[in-house]
Amino acid sequence: MRLLFFAILSAISLSGYSQLCYTDRYNDTIFHTVKKTSDILYAKADPYGALSSSQDLLMDIYEPDGDTLQYRPVIFYAFGGAFLIGDKIQPPVPRFCDYFAKLGYVVISINYRIGFNTVSSGSTERAVYRAVQDLRAAIRYVSQRRTFFRIDTAAIITTGTSAGCFAALHSNYFEESDRPLSTFGIPLEPADMGCLDCSGNTDNYLRTPRTRVIINQWGAILDTNFMQNQPDENCPVISFHGTADNLVPYEYGHPFSYPVFPNVYGSKPIHERLNNLGIRNRFVPLVGFGHEPELLAPELNDTIWNRSRIFLYEEFTPQPQQLSGPQFACKGQRLTYSVAARSRSTFCWELSGNASVISNSGNFITVLAQDSGTITVRCRETTYLGFPGNVTGFTTTVVLPPIAMFSLTSNLLDIQVQDSSRYQTTSLWQMGDGRSFSTTPINYTYSKSGTYIVELQISNQGCADSFSQTVTVDTCPVAAFTYKVVGNNVQFIPATTNAAQYQWAFGTGDSSTGVVQVFTYQAPGTYPVSLTAINAQGCSSTVLQFVTVAAPNSIPDMEALGGITVLPNPFTEFISVSSNDVISVKLISAEGRLVAQLSGSGQFNIPAVNLASGIYMLQVQDGVAVQYFKLQK
């Protein structure tokens, strides 16, 4: 029941794929209201002129109302007005902030210091530098309070219009080494303005996080060489600029066509420089429009905001990645699918087909293939900022597991194979003698006798199985034997191949089994002796020989034959053998078993106290001559 409940729960959670794993956040205005907090003091700085020694710098914060996301991207908006006029609530700033807050962004509109001497080129440069310092102070202020404002300092976007985008571009691409000489003091403004982060506040340890994206609306930059493809400056930019702008150059020139202002590079050369550096950017020329075109043509806001929305969405959406898993599997197999893990991302999974979820943990999912067919697994990654990625999928073909089975019969060196395997597409037969086949060897002949392991390995597209049997093959034995006659005693020695059993018939009605035999004939004559040899498979062979036996011979005690003496006979505790020459002696039982073996010269004894009563044959070899003595205990 617990397994059933788990399966049902998994099915319910995965079936809600579209609801649980996808959101239109950042792609549509899913928030209907915006929470605005006005006039937050973020810095105090020396203004232009001598009217005051300090100016309060304020910001308004726009947030999606009811948003619960812990980390959110933040957009800093700096108004336009040629550094002479303007405010954080002038049109169209509130509308822009409302729109992007309803998409899910935190949007901050800032006031910055304005004013400069319109007849001094140096004073103009100082005005730009002042705005850059204030924008960076605002970023530092929010970054130090990132937990309170629930923003991510790795997702900072800067924008504005006209002068505000001068500040945004220079804030990112400007370095201390790029400071114009005018910022160190000019005759009418002798004060050194200090470093980029030395004004307004000391928040965030005087470190301003880098900008992730710039939305450039008819802004410009003093020198495109400020732009470098370096880790802290590689910032994607989307630019909008009227081709008929006569205040901020579309290409290159003096703002307002007024020579007192330094020459600046407009959006077109900014776009070209970024292209040359390989920095992602997009340029949207507003053909035929002049400066601040949205004020006279509000419908342009739709173009600007929608194109910006898409550009940001593309920048923050996780890059597509490969979903990996098994291409083929078999029924009953556990299958694991995965995508690459990315920091703080969440992964939503969908499963279809004859399978059930075993475990689902982050960028991995393990399922059980319940039947043949196809299984489709899909995954969507969502970043910690709430940007959903594209769905990536993978399909596995599930087949029934193969079953390996066969039977064997053998005849001598031949075997017959009956294959009863199922569901396989490939087979490999290993015959145990070094040979293999991809098709069933229905009849197979081994080159020599022996015991072999026949193994079948089968597979299909998803899985494999194996089965093996042991088979022993042999040739039929060839029966043969030799014999030695000593008096009425005959020793029979088999010369048979491939025999497991021996059956002797001595021609007297007597028979025996065993290997070497010693038989005593009671009367002289010629006897038909046969040996039947049988191998392990039951195949037999018989040979017949006629053996002639002379009159019985009894070896008396102390009898000397050729200088060799054997006594006593019958024996009890020992057998004494003496010879003047070196001899080799073997004592063989009636069953053909070697009981004792000695060699030497002179007299020596063979211990016999533990021998069973019966007939024994003593073989004595002197050089090449062999003699036999029949003994009894």
Question: Do residues 16 and 349 lie in contact, with contact meaning Cβ atoms separated by under 8 Å?
Answer: no
Per the rule left: phi > 0, alpha: psi between -120 and 50, beta: everything else, 12 is alpha
> Does residue 443 belong to any structural domain of this protein?
yes
Q: Is 6 helix (H, G, I), strand (E, B) or coil?
A: helix
Residue-wise pLDDT tens digits, 280-300: 999 999 999 999 999 999 999
Q: Cα dist. 309→29, 94, 303, 317 in Å? A: 11, 16, 10, 12
Single residue among 316, 335, 357 that ends a domain in this structure: 316
Domain shared by 324 and 299, yes or no: no
**Is residue 553 over pLDDT 80?**
no
Structure tokens at 450: 């022996």
Per-residue pLDDT band at 476 (split at 50, 70, 90): confident
Sign, CA dihedral 78-79-85-86, equals negative
Does 12 have pLDDT greater than 50?
no
pLDDT the model gives residue 558 = 37
pLDDT greater than 80 at residue 52: no
Residue type, 30: I
Contact 518, 536 (CB under 8 A): no
**How does pLDDT run across 303-356, given as a tens digit for each residue?**
999 999 999 999 999 988 899 999 999 999 999 999 999 989 999 999 999 999
Among 473, 490, 525, the domain-final residue is 473
Q: Say whether pLDDT at 9 is over 50.
A: no
Is 615 a domain residue?
A: yes
Same domain, 187 and 205: yes
The verdict on residue 107 lying in a domain is: yes
The rounded Cα 464 to chain-centroid distance in angstroms is 21
pLDDT mean over 386-395 = 92
Q: State the pLDDT confidence band at 51, using cuts at 50, 70 and 90.
A: low
Give me the amino acid identity at 422.
R
Same-domain status, 463 and 357: no
Which CATH number characterizes residue 454's domain? Answer: 2.60.40.10
Confidence of residue 37 (pLDDT cuts 50, 70, 90): very high
In a domain, 28, yes or no: no
Q: How far is residue 22's CA from residue 8's CA, in Å, rounded to a whole number?
A: 22
Asked if pLDDT for residue 387 goes beyond 90, the answer is yes
* Whether residue 175 is found in the same domain as residue 138: yes
Picking from 29-33, 359-363, 494-498, which range would have the lowest pLDDT averaged per residue? 494-498
Per residue in 600-616, pLDDT (tens digit) is 888 888 998 888 888 88
Task: Locate 185 and state its tokens.
Answer: 């003091």
239 and 364 part of one domain? no
Instruction: Pick the closest to residue 485 from 531, 533, 532, 517 (CA basis).
Output: 517
CATH number at residue 628: 2.60.40.3080
Is 564 found in the same domain as 545? no
| 226 pLDDT more than 90 | yes
261 closest CA partner among 82, 163, 120, 113: 120
Q: Per-residue pLDDT averaged across 471-480, rounded?
A: 89
Nearest CA-CA partner of 217 in 155, 317, 289, 275: 289
Residue 21 lies in a domain: no
> Using one digit for the tens of pLDDT, what is the confidence trace for 559-576?
455 678 888 888 888 888
Cα angle 252-303-60, degrees, rounded to a multiple of 5? 85
Residue 411 burial by Cβ neighbours in a 10 Å radius (0-12, 13-18, 19+): exposed
Which of 47, 52, 72 has the alpha carbon at shortest distance from 62?
Answer: 72
The answer to whether residues 337 and 318 touch, using CB atoms and an 8 Å cutoff, is: no
- Give 46: exposed, middle or buried? Use CB within 10 Å, 0-12, 13-18, 19+: middle
Q: How many domains does the chain have?
A: 5
> Is residue 562 classed as helix, strand or coil in its secondary structure?
coil
Q: Are 247 and 282 contained in the same domain?
A: yes
- In DSSP terms, 418 is beta-bridged to 407
Average confidence score pLDDT of the chain: 90
Q: Are residues 394 and 410 in the same domain?
A: no
Measured CA to CA, the distance from residue 190 to residue 122 in angstroms comes to 11
Which of 549, 583, 607 finishes a domain? 549
Domain residues for the domain of 577 are 559-632
* Co-location of 340 and 308 in the same domain: no
Residues 422 and 393 in one domain: no
Distance (Å, whole) CA 335 – CA 352: 13
- The answer to whether residue 448 is domain-embedded is yes
Question: How open is the CA angle 452-455-457, to the nearest 5 degrees?
Answer: 165
Q: Do the domain assignments include residue 24?
A: no
Q: Where are the beta strands (DSSP E) in 246-387?
A: 252-253, 264-265, 281-286, 328-330, 334-338, 346-353, 355-361, 364-369, 373-382
Tens of pLDDT, residue by residue over 63-95, are 999 999 999 999 999 999 999 999 999 999 999
Q: What is the 3 state secondary structure string of 143-189?
A: HHCHHHHCCCCCCEEEEECCHHHHHHHHHHHCCHHHCCHHHHCECCE
Which segments within 164-266 are labelled E, that is strand? 213-217, 237-242, 252-253, 264-265
CB 169 within 8 A of CB 274: no
User: For residues 467 and 499, is the Cβ–Cβ distance under 8 A?
Assistant: no
Structural contact between residues 494 and 361, judged by C-beta atoms closer than 8 angstroms: no
Which tens digit of pLDDT belongs to each residue from 417-475?
999 999 999 999 999 999 999 999 999 999 998 899 999 999 998 789 999 999 988 88
Task: Evaluate whether residue 30 is within a structural domain.
Answer: no
- Per the DSSP assignment, residues forming a β-bridge with 429 are 437, 456
With 0.85 as the threshold, say if the pTM is over it. Answer: no
Q: Which two tokens stand for residue 119?
A: 């007849």
Is the CB of residue 443 less than 8 Å from the CB of residue 498? no
230 shares its domain with 217: yes
Domain of 210: which CATH number?
3.40.50.1820
Long-range contacts of 372-376 (CB under 8 A, 24+ apart): 372/331, 372/398, 372/399, 372/400, 373/397, 373/398, 374/398, 375/329, 375/335, 375/351, 376/351, 376/352
Would you say the C-alpha torsion 622, 625, 626, 627 has a positive or negative sign? negative
Q: Are residues 509 and 569 in the same domain?
A: no
